[in-house]
A and B are shown apart, each in its own frame.
Chain A
Amino acid sequence: GAGVSQSPSNKVTEKGKDVELRCDPISGHTALYWYRQSLGQGLEFLIYFQGNSAPDKSGLPSDRFSAERTGGSVSTLTIQRTQQEDSAVYLCASTPTVQTEAFFGQGTRLTVV
C-alpha cells in the first residue's frame, strides 16, 4: 500500500479481555516500531523490529504486552488481560533503513472499559 496501515482504527474492549492490534508497514521497509500515545503525553516507545526479529523490546510495559512480525511485513501487538491504564492510541511506524525518518500509521485508539 501507499502508507502504513493500522487496524482497527478504534477498539473498545472490556477490562480483562485480550486485544490484537495490526500494523501493515510500507512494502520494503525493514524497520518497524510500535509506540503508545496517552492523552497529553508524548510517544512512548514500546518495541522495535528489524526484519522479523525484535532487537529492542525494552519499552513493553509489562509481560501482558507482546508483539510479533512475520514475513518481514505485518506486525501484531497483543495485549492480554487489558487494564484501564492500557487505554491509549497505539501508533505503528516503519522506515526503509534505521537512518531515515519514520512513516506513521493513523493509529489504533484503544479504550478499555
Chain B
Amino acid sequence: AQSVTQLDSQVPVFEEAPVELRCNYSSSVSVYLFWYVQYPNQGLQLLLKYLSGSTLVKGINGFEAEFNKSQTSFHLRKPSVHISDTAEYFCAVSGSGGSYIPTFGRGTSLIVHP
C-alpha cells in the first residue's frame, strides 16, 4: 500500500524567509505526486503536481517541488514566503500498485509571522 509521511506537523517562519515542507512517500514503482493547500474553512486547492518528465516542478504562488526518486521524496519549497501563505499543506501520492486513489499525508501547518 502507498503511504505519505509529512515530517513536520507545524512550520513557523518569518515573512520573506525561505521555507521547505518535507514529504516522503513509500513506493517502489512510478507514482504521481501532488501538493495541495487548504486555507481555513475551504477545500483543497492544487499547488503543483509531478506526473512525469522534469523532476523540478513549478506551481502556483511561487512554490516549487523536486521529485527525488532515490530518496522517495517530494519536498515543497518557496524562496520567500508571505503572510498570505499561512495555511495547511498536504502532500499526496497516487498510482502505486495500480491504485489511483490519492493517499494524503497528515498535513503541515505553515505559519508565517510578520
Contacts and interface: CB of A to CB of B under 8 A. Distances in A.
23 contacts: A31-B100, A33-B101, A40-B106, A41-B106, A42-B6, A42-B107, A43-B90, A45-B102, A48-B101, A56-B99, A56-B101, A93-B102, A98-B94, A98-B101, A99-B32, A99-B51, A99-B100, A102-B44, A103-B46, A104-B44, A105-B43, A106-B42, A107-B43
Contacts, number: 50
A79 interface: no
Nearest to A91: B43
Contacts of A104: 36, 43-45
Interface residues of A, number: 22
Contact of A42 (B42, B46, B94, B105): B105
A37 B45 CA distance: 15
Interface of B: 6, 32, 34, 36, 41-46, 49, 51, 90, 94-95, 99-107
Nearest to A97: B100
Given A45-B103, A99-B32, 7 more contacts: A33-B102, A56-B101, A91-B44, A93-B44, A99-B100, A105-B43, A107-B43
